[in-house]
């Protein structure tokens, strides 16, 4: 009997130990948070140091998910080796993942060491990590915030990109219903949190994208963070095995009726996979978020772009730039009077890469003479003024030497097949091995441009027959000034990717050469500022955010190797792939963005204000063209509201416009007074919040180099309630 009792006692103790083992928690602590992972591989708790819980009880997220054929594979067991700082996760498909976890002061560094056996896994997903936070959604860089706490994850390598995997790894832009302040902006009964709506327009006019003025219509620019009305939000990153074949529908990121139907794209494989994927996981007080991210960037060797020695994400670096049109005789004088240190030469028009014609005839005009850009930038650089051109990134024009007379084999392709029969230089009956989506019109905007490359010849066509033998219809040989020649049966026929301007796109490997091209072009032109309009050109290859990162890293590295130092980048859009490199988002302008006469945000400005500020990026007024009819108060409105909102913008100037203004010196002086005060960082956060109010107008006076006096301006134009502001 005693032996039986002893036996039962041992069984009971073993059972208790097993129960404790099943509930084991692995805790990881930073300066601001405690993260707990259970032995099933799920995050059971994420607490601030004050003890507040941020993991929704019924929605515990997996620590790392695998992904195969559009399906998440959740872990079923986890163990942690403290001596090696390695977590091992097991999955129901037989795969085992090993993750190294390094505790840093303000974040956890996590690196995927291996997935073995892969068993067909095509992506590894960090997240989605569910949180109870719902106020501020940072969908570009995977961060969510409320007034107390911020939780985020940041990719530490180029192949780890935002959100869950999707077609082309570029998430669909849309509106969602999400009130930034339910008391101030309550939802009408007809709407619910999380509802999704198409963006506006048909895709031909980008201003029409922004179609809802109400603050609870939130324009979404990515899927790094997702609103989850049931419990809060989720954040995610993923890394793809790009060596695996994939056929996608491109584009996924636009959602327009009819003409925007996506086309099939067979994505070129490259030797890049998810091994080594790494992230920083952080949780911190909301007001510490930007500083924590800056520390991650510095510690992990991520791109750290500065202006006057200050990180370009720090509001202390935010400045106004010039967008210039026309003759350049007065440009340096205007910039000096205004205290502006960066110029985009919009008047020289859009620049497209053409290896055979690097400058495309672009020169500045001084004293009625055409002068090389490099000669002019020597003058500007001596004054510490950055200068650059408005480029269309990597859109390739039909007249480029990469298209004619011999097409570059590195141009981006949509599909590959073969011709079934030999053809001579005059044949227009071309028989192909299969239809291979040849019946789809080229270009995601349905511009009807269908171009094939057969050897060194380009061919246009209209369609393909639906039954064997498959014959191309509407064929024109020797297109784009290429030479029509004979071709043997079995020769490869490729369809080229067409961009929305009826031109072409470099493939992912040729893109490396374009990055090198831009670096040398900048050096040779003495330029240290560049505008990448048409950032969407990076999406056409089907590699999404990875393509952005690959290009930007290559260009910056090449620029540095060639002896370049300071380089500023602005562009038309902000994505996870270019966030680190960009200082300014140059999109839109005028009243669509902000009206300095009325102090009212336009719909486009409102949309970008929420999206960019939520992702620690300066919002923008776009280009605000100088109007000879402006008053001093209009200039003070423009500058005071830019400071209040931590917004950047470009002041659109031309000699013709400025010289028509009888008050130009007064306006320039008022602008400079605010700009110098902004540089001196005299505006505390509490004052900026007050200055954001639409009805509030201000006047600023300089008392000395370190002191300013700011007045409210009442409805009668009187200066009231003076405040003394001192440089820090």
pLDDT digits (tens, 9 = 90+) for 86-142: 999 999 999 999 999 999 999 999 999 999 999 999 999 999 999 999 999 999 999
pLDDT of residue 209: 82
483 DSSP assignment: P
351 DSSP assignment: B
Q: How far is CA 723 from the centre of its chain?
A: 39
Q: How far apart are CA 311 and CA 313, in angstroms?
A: 5
pLDDT of residue 63: 99
Strand residue runs (E) in 207-245: 217-220, 225-228, 232-240
- pTM of the complete model: 0.94
Omega within 30 of 0 (cis) for the link into 117 = yes
Lowest average pLDDT, out of 3-17, 204-218, 256-270, 568-582, goes to 3-17
Rounded to 5 degrees, φ, ψ at 374 are -65, -35
pLDDT at 21 over 80: no
Count the alpha carbons within 13 Å of 45 in the hemisphere toward its beta carbon: 17
Contacts of 550 (CB under 8 A, 6+ apart): 158, 508, 511, 512, 515, 543
Contacts of 55 (CB under 8 A, 6+ apart): 43, 44, 45, 46, 61, 130, 131, 132
441 DSSP assignment: P
Domains annotated on the chain, with CATH: 25-166+232-244+270-301 (no CATH), 311-394+507-666 (3.20.20.80), 413-496 (2.40.10)
- SS3 percent helix, strand, coil of the chain, rounded to 5, is 25, 30, 45
Sign, CA dihedral 161-162-164-169, equals: negative
SS3 34: strand
Mean pLDDT, residues 548-556: 98
pLDDT of residue 255: 63
Token pair in block for residue 1? 């009997």
Q: How far apart are CA 162 and CA 151, in angstroms?
A: 15
Q: How far apart are CA 194 and CA 199, in angstroms?
A: 15
pLDDT of residue 204: 62
Q: How far apart are CA 165 and CA 167, in angstroms?
A: 7
140 DSSP assignment: T
Q: How far is CA 510 from the centre of its chain?
A: 21
Which residue in 476, 448, 446 sits closest to 461, CA to CA?
Answer: 476
pLDDT at 251 over 90: no
The model's pLDDT over 666-689, given as tens digits with 9 standing for 90+, comes to 999 999 999 999 999 999 999 999
pLDDT at 262 over 90: no
Which residue in 121, 123, 116 sits closest to 96, CA to CA?
Answer: 116
Q: How far apart are CA 249 and CA 268, in angstroms?
A: 14
Binned at pLDDT 50, 70 and 90, residue 447 comes out as: confident
């Amino acid at each position: 009997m005693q032996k039986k009792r002893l036996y039962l006692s041992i069984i009971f103790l073993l059972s208790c130990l097993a129960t404790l083992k099943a509930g084991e928690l692995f805790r990881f602590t930073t300066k601001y948070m405690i993260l707990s992972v259970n032995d099933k591989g799920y995050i059971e708790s994420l607490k601030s140091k004050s003890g507040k819980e941020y993991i929704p009880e019924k929605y515990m997220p997996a620590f790392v998910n695998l992904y195969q054929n559009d399906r998440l594979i959740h872990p079923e067991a986890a163990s942690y080796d403290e001596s090696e700082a390695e977590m091992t996760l097991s999955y129901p498909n037989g795969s085992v993942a090993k993750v190294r976890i390094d505790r840093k002061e303000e974040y956890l560094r996590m690196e995927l060491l291996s997935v073995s056996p892969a068993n067909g896994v095509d992506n590894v997903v960090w997240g989605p990590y569910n949180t109870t936070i719902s106020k501020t959604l940072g969908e570009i860089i995977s961060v969510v915030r409320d007034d107390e706490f911020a939780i985020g994850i940041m990719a530490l390598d180029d192949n780890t990109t935002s959100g869950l995997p999707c077609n082309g790894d570029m998430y669909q832009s849309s509106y969602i219903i999400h009130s930034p302040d339910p008391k101030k902006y309550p939802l009408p009964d007809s709407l619910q949190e999380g509802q999704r709506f198409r963006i506006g327009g048909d895709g031909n006019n980008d201003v029409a994208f922004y179609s809802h003025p109400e603050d609870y219509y939130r324009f979404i620019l990515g899927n790094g963070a997702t609103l989850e009305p049931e419990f809060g939000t989720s954040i995610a990153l993923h890394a793809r095995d790009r060596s695996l074949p994939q056929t996608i529908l491109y584009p996924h990121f636009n959602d327009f009726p009819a003409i925007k139907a996506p086309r099939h794209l067979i994505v070129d494989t490259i030797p890049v996979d998810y091994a080594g994927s790494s992230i920083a996981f952080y949780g911190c007080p909301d007001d510490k978020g930007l500083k924590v991210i800056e520390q991650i960037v510095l510690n992990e060797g991520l791109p750290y772009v500065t202006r006057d020695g200050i990180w370009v994400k720090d509001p202390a670096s935010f400045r106004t730039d010039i967008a210039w049109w026309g003759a350049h005789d007065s440009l340096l004088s205007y910039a000096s009077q205004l205290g502006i240190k960066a110029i985009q030469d919009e008047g020289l028009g859009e620049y497209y890469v053409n290896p055979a014609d690097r400058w495309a005839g672009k020169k500045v005009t001084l004293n009625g003479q055409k002068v090389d850009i490099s000669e002019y930038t020597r003058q500007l650089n001596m004054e510490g003024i950055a200068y650059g051109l408005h480029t269309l990134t990597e859109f390739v024009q039909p007249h480029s030497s990469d298209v004619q007379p011999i097409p570059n084999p590195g141009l981006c392709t949509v599909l590959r097949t073969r011709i079934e029969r030999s053809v001579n230089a005059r044949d227009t009956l071309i028989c192909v091995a299969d239809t291979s989506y040849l019946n789809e019109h080229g270009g995601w905007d349905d511009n009807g441009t269908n171009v094939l490359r057969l050897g060194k010849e380009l061919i246009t066509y209209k369609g393909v027959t639906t039954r064997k033998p498959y014959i191309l219809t509407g064929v024109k040989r020797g297109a784009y000034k290429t030479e029509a020649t004979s071709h043997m049966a079995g020769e490869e026929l490729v369809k080229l990717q067409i961009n929305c301007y009826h031109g072409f796109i470099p493939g992912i490997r040729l893109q490396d050469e374009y990055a090198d091209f831009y670096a040398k072009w900048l050096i040779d032109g003495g330029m240290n500022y560049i505008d990448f309009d048409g950032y969407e050109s990076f999406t056409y290859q089907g590699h999404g955010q990875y393509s952005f990162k690959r290009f930007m890293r290559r260009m910056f590295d090449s620029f540095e190797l060639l002896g370049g130092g300071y380089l500023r980048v602005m562009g038309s859009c902000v994505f996870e792939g270019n966030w680190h490199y960009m200082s300014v988002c140059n999109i839109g302008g005028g009243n669509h963005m902000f009206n300095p006469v009325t102090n009212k945000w336009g719909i486009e400005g409102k949309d970008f204000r929420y999206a960019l500020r939520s992702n620690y990026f300066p919002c923008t007024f776009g280009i605000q063209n100088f109007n000879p009819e402006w008053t001093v108060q209009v200039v003070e409105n423009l500058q005071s509201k830019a400071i209040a909102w931590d917004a950047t913008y470009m002041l659109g100037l031309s000699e013709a416009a400025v010289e028509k203004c009888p008050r130009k010196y007064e306006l320039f002086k008022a602008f400079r007074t605010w700009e110098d005060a902004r540089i001196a960082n005299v505006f505390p956060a509490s004052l900026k919040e007050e200055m954001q109010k639409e009805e509030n107008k201000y006047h600023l006076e300089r008392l000395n180099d370190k002191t300013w006096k700011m007045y409210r301006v009442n409805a009668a134009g009187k200066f009231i309630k003076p405040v003394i502001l001192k440089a820090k």
